[in-house]
Amino acid sequence: MATDSAILDHLWAIRATLEQQSEDLREIKGRLGILGQQYASVSNRLDRMDDRIGRIEVRLELVEG
């Protein structure tokens, strides 16, 4: 029965490792989600700035409107 005990010990170790990796993946996914939101926010701000600069250029007659 020592073999059974060794197998169970290995299985418990594997399970613990998988649970830790699962927690790590959840944390990584959460951080990626936050980064995605921040990227979208920055992208929207850049788009608005581009629009504003375009309007300024037209008003100053730097480009044809």
Average pLDDT over residues 47-61: 96
Res 2: pLDDT: 83
Confidence of residue 18 (pLDDT cuts 50, 70, 90): very high
The chain-wide mean pLDDT, for the chain, equals 95
What is the residue-wise DSSP string for 32-46?
Answer: HHHHHHHHHHHHHHH
Cβ pair 54, 60 in contact under 8 A: no
> Around 51, how many Cα atoms within 13 Å sit in the side-chain half-sphere?
6
Confidence of residue 63 (pLDDT cuts 50, 70, 90): confident
CA distance linking residue 29 with residue 57, whole number of Å: 42
Average pLDDT over residues 11-38: 97
